[in-house]
Structure 1
Amino acid sequence: MLQLRFTCLLCFAVFAAFLATSAVHAHHGWAWASDEEFEITGVIQSVRLGNPHGRVTITVDGEEWVVEVGQPWRNDRVGLTKEMLSPGREITVHGHRAAEEDMRKVKAERVVIDGKDYNLYPGRDS
């Protein structure tokens, strides 16, 4: 009986540690971004979709910006495809820019292409 209690307690401790670690890792994706809403419009130069997040490079007033879009499953869920993110297309990004002012990077919450919204984080206001 004592062995069973010990095993249950050990399993619970491992599970609790896993949950705590998962929460920390889930939060890392926004740690570098400011809390303020941000919007930018530019022309797509290149795209790399994949894990952990897709990256779209856009040109705005002669400067390159990196836009972090969602994970593959998140992009798929809203219908955002590589074809839509093709070079030469205009894109408007709503989200949060990097907290470091000299870093030209944006975490996208929502993007607009050809007048259509793709809300990557529907639970957030953007």
Structure 2
Amino acid sequence: MARRFLLTIILAVAMATPTIPASAHHGWSWTTGDNIDLTGIIKSVSLGNPHGIVQVDVDGEAWTVEVGQPWRNDRAGLKDGDLAQGVELRVIGEPSADISDRRVKAERLYLNGREYVLYPRRD
């Protein structure tokens, strides 16, 4: 009985505690809401959770491209090694609201003429 009462108190306190919204860059809040189209050469790739990061040279400027989580990349049809150093990559996605970041969240990738849809367009 005492254990049930203690669990009820803990649950009540947990539910009454205000949550603090995450201010991390995950999601779309840091983007402009518009799309840009970039083409460049992959310089480095780091895939994994929470999402993959691809560094791309676009006309001499270094851009950071956020691709999907591993399951999202798999679902889009990307295979290990598709995103590799030296490969030309076209990216359509939402750039950072601070364009000086040179960061874009990829919605679609194009490799060797093939389209990989990571995030269907949100309208």
Same fold (TM over 0.5): yes
**Partner in structure 2 of residue 55 of structure 1:** 53
**Structure 2: which amino acid aligns with 1:57?**
Q
What pairs with 1:78-117 in structure 2 (closer than 5 Å)? 78-117=76-115
Which segments of 5 or more consecutive residues in structure 1 lack a partner in the other structure? none
How many residues are matched? 119
1:105 maps to amino acid: R
1:46, 1:82 → 2: CA distance? 14
Q: Distance in 2 between matches of 1:103 and 1:87?
A: 21
CA distance in 1, matches of 2:75, 2:34: 26
Shift of the alpha carbon at 1:78? 1.3
Instruction: Measure the CA separation in 2 of the matches of 1:81 and 1:35.
Output: 28
Aligned-residue sequence identity (percent) comes to 50
- After TM superposition, the structure 1 = structure 2 runs for residues 1-126 of structure 1, keeping only pairs within 5 Å, are 28-122=26-120, 124=121
TM-score of the superposed pair, with normalisation by structure 2: 0.78
The runs of at least 4 aligned residues of structure 1 exceeding 3 Å deviation read: none
TM-score by length of 1: 0.76
What letter is aligned with 2:42? I
Amino acid at match of 2:44: S
- What is the root-mean-square deviation of aligned Cα atoms in Å? 3.0
> 1: CA distance between counterparts of 2:40 and 2:58?
5
Segments of structure 2 that go 5 or more residues without pairing to the other structure are none
Report deviation, 1:120: 0.5
Deviations 1:94-116 (A, max 9, x none): 11011002111000001000000
